[in-house]
Structure 1
Amino acid sequence: MPFLFKLKRPNNHIAGGGFLVTYSTLPIPLAWEVFGEKNGAATLEDFRALLGPLTSDRRLDSDIGCTVLANPFFLSPERWIKPPGWATNIVRGKMYETSQEEGAVVWAAVAQNFDQGATRTIAAPGIREQEPKYGSAVLVSPRLGQASFRVLITDAYKRRCAITGENTLIALEAAHIIPYSREGTHDVRNGLLLRADFHRLFDVGLVSVTPDLRIKISPRIREAYFNGKAYYRMNDAPLAQIPDRPELRPDPDRLDWHYKNCFQA
C-alpha cells in the first residue's frame, strides 16, 4: 500500500512516499538499533531528545510506534503534488481511496512521476537487491531491507524465540535460513526469530531446524567446546514458537537446504 509524505506548512504538498510494509511498536533503544539514522536523528541521544517533547511522562525507554516502509522515493520541488481535500485541521494523516475522485487524482500524479522516471530513491545502506529478489510485479517492485525483515520476523513470531520461547526482546534476533550472502532473501519465510546464542549457532551450522519443524543440535558442540548440556536437552524437540499464519511460517524447502548444506551432523 502506498504511504505518501506531506510537507508541513507553508509547503503543504506531497513530496514523496514509500510502500507500507508493516506497523509495529518497539522499545526506543531497539528502534534505534533496528533503524538507526532512518529514525531521523544522528545518534540515539539525539533521537531521545527529539522524542522528549512528544512524551508526556518523559519515559524515554517506552515503546514507540514504527511505520516500516520499503522503496522510499522523493520528488523534486517542481513535481510536488498538492493533496486534494486536505483540511487545515488534519494533523495525523489522511486516507485516500483510489476508487474515489480524490484518491484517483493523487495516485495518477504519483504514477506519472514513476512513468517519467522523476523519482529519487534512497537505498538501505549495505543492501544490494538483485532482480530475482524482487517481489511480484507492481508499479514499483517492493524491496525489503534488513530492518523491515527484522520487524516482520519479530512480529510474526509474537516476539518469542522460535527454539526456546524466550521473550526478552532485546536478546532476540532475526536469522536468515538461507544466508543473504548466499542468495537468501529478506522474506519472512526465509527467517526465524532466535535468541542471540541460537542465532550464532544456527549461522555456523551447530543448530538446525528440519522441514517438519524439529530442532537439531550438532554433536560438534560437545566435541569442540566440551559442553552444551543446555542445548542438547532441546535436540529433536518441536519448535517452541511458530507463526499463527501458515504463509508466515518457515519454508520447508529452505529449512531442508540449511539442514543439508549447513548443519554439522
Structure 2
Amino acid sequence: MHIGKPHEATTRICQASAETVEVRGRDLCRDLMGRLSFTEYFCLLLTGREPTDNQRCFLDLLLIAIAEHGMMPTVQAARMTLAADPDSLQGALAAGLLGCGPVLVGTSERCGKLLVEAQSRLAAGDDAKVVALQMLQDIRKTGGKLPGFGHPVHRPTDPRAERILELADARGVSGPHIAMARNFRAAAAEVWGKPLVMNVSMPIAAVLLDLDFPVATIKAVPLLARTGGLLAHLAEEQQNPIGFTMAAHAEAAVTYKNTDEGGG
C-alpha cells in the first residue's frame, strides 16, 4: 500500500559509487576535502549552496553560542544513559538529542516561524510595531508561550543574544527579521507589563533568516551545536563518571507520597 500521492523518488544530496562520492554536484575528495571547513560543508549539505562570508561567519558564531550551557537536562539524560550502558555512545548521544524540543534548544524554530508570520503581515502594508504588538497580544490572550523570551539564568539580558545582535549590526547583516525581533522585545514589555529577557533563540532565528537561510533549516543549527556539546560531556563521562551520582541526587530530591495517606 502506497501512502500519499505517487511521485518520483529523488535526492539532491549525495551519491556514492565505487570510485567517487558526489555531494551536491561536487566531488567529495577532489572538490571539498581540504578546501571547505566543516561549517562551510554543513551549509552546503543543508542548503545546497556554499556559504557567503557572512553566512559562514554567523554559522560559526551560532554553533559556538548554543553548543554548551552546563548541566542541562539533555546533558544529564545523555550522561546517565552512558553510565547505564558504557558501550553505547550513540545511544547516549541520542538520549540527549531526544530532549531537544520546543522548551530546550528547539525554541529557535518557533521563533523563526513567528518572525516569518510577522513578515507576511508586513507585506500587506502593516506597521512593524503594530504587527509585533498585535501578535504578542494574541499570544497572551490565548495563554500561549512567547518563544525566544525568558530565561531562568540570564537576567536582565542573555549575553549570547546581545552579542549576536551586536555582531549582526557590526557586520551589516541586520535586516527585517532582526528589526522585528527588536520590535517583539519592545512589544513584550508592553504586553506583559515588564521587560522580558530576549534569549539566544530569537537572534539565532532572526540572523539566519536575514542571511537567507530557509526557516525549515533553523532547528538544524542548535541540534548540530548541541551534538558537539553532548559529545564533550560523554567524553568526560567516560573519564570522570558522574551519571549515577546525578541519578542518586535526583532520586533523593523527590519525595514519595503514598496515595493512601491522603491528598488523592
The answer to whether TM tops 0.5 is no
Higher RCO structure, 1 or 2 (CA under 8 Å, sep 6+)? 2
Structure number with the higher helix fraction is 2
TM-score (norm 2): 0.22
